[in-house]
């Protein structure tokens, strides 16, 4: 019985090694240079068009940091256009007071990366983020909680947009 288990374990290990050796060269880091394209330099060369509103401000500033955290200002090769829509929903209502105790802030951001010289978009799409927050009896605490939810959504959307743009720039 032990011999059968030993043989099965050896076969499993051999299969895993064979597959991993075959796929060893297939995986590369997203932000590593690929085929002469340096994704970091390409991401730094994106000019972000201003996005209106408070959430737009949070989203724009987070994208500026994620795309070009170095502070250098290389000449722009691309322009990034972003529009968004947001909606809030009451998730829970207190049955005694009739007041909302929890809210959800949902945001959909549509983005389009265009060459600076004009032409067809390099990539375009949309990302979605949802942030929940608690509501209490204090009006100012509720306003601050809603603002914190906007900030969290802005960070999440910026991260998603950066990843999708980087993968589009690296892809042939």
Helices assigned H by DSSP within 51-138: 54-67
Which residues fall within 8 angstroms of residue 102, CB to CB, at 6 or more apart? 90, 91, 92, 132, 133, 134, 135
Stated length of the chain: 172
**pLDDT given at position 30:** 66
**pLDDT given at position 71:** 73
Q: Which three-class secondary structure state does DSSP give residue 33?
A: coil
**pLDDT given at position 112:** 96
Domains of the chain: 38-170 (3.30.160.150)
Q: What angle do CA 79, 166, 83 make, to 5 degrees?
A: 45
* Euclidean distance between CA atoms 18 and 22, whole angstroms: 6
Q: Which of 49, 61, 51, 58 is nearest to 149 (CA)?
A: 58
Q: Which three-class secondary structure state does DSSP give residue 172?
A: coil
Which residues fall within 8 angstroms of residue 44, CB to CB, at 6 or more apart? 67, 68, 70, 72, 74
Segments in the chain below pLDDT 50? none
**pLDDT given at position 106:** 92
**pLDDT given at position 22:** 61
**pLDDT given at position 38:** 79
């Amino acid at each position: 019985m032990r011999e059968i288990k030993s043989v099965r374990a050896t076969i499993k290990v051999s299969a895993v090694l064979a597959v991993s050796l075959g796929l060893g060269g297939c995986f590369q880091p997203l932000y590593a240079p690929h085929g002469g394209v340096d994704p970091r330099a390409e991401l730094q060369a994106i000019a972000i068009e201003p996005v209106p509103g408070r959430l737009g401000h949070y989203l724009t500033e987070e994208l500026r940091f994620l795309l070009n955290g170095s502070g250098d200002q290389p000449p722009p090769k691309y322009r990034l256009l972003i529009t968004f829509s947001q909606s809030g929903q009451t998730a829970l209502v207190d049955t005694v007071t009739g007041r909302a105790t929890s809210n959800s802030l949902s945001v959909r951001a549509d983005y389009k990366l265009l060459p600076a010289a004009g032409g067809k978009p390099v990539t375009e799409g949309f990302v979605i983020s949802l942030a929940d927050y608690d509501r209490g009896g204090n009006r100012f605490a509720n306003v601050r909680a809603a603002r914190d939810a906007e900030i969290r959504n802005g960070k999440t959307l910026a991260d998603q947009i950066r990843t999708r743009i980087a993968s589009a720039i690296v892809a042939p």
